[in-house]
Amino acid sequence: MFSLKSCLGFGVRAGSAPYRKRRDWRCGTDVLEERRLLSADIVLEWNAIALDAVKNDYDVGEPHDQPGPTTASRALAIVHVAMFDTLNCFDHEYQEFLVDKDARKGASTQAAVAQAAHDTLVALFPHQTASFDAGLENSLQGIDQKALKRGTQLGEDVARKILKKRMNDGSDHMMNYSPGDQPGEYRADPLHPDQSFITPKWGKVKTFVIKS
CATH of domain 28-167: 1.20.144.10
Q: Are 47 and 80 in contact (CB under 8 A)?
A: yes
d(CA 142, CA 14): 39
Per-residue pLDDT in tens (0 to 9) along the chain, 212 residues: 334 444 444 444 433 433 334 444 344 445 445 555 556 799 999 999 999 999 999 887 778 999 889 999 999 999 999 999 999 999 999 999 999 999 999 999 999 999 999 999 999 999 999 999 999 999 999 999 999 999 999 999 999 999 999 999 989 876 677 788 888 888 888 898 887 778 888 888 999 988 76
Give whole-number Cα distances, 39 to 4, 19, 111, 144, in Å: 8, 19, 10, 16
Residue whose C-alpha is closest to residue 47's, from 87, 88, 8, 10: 8
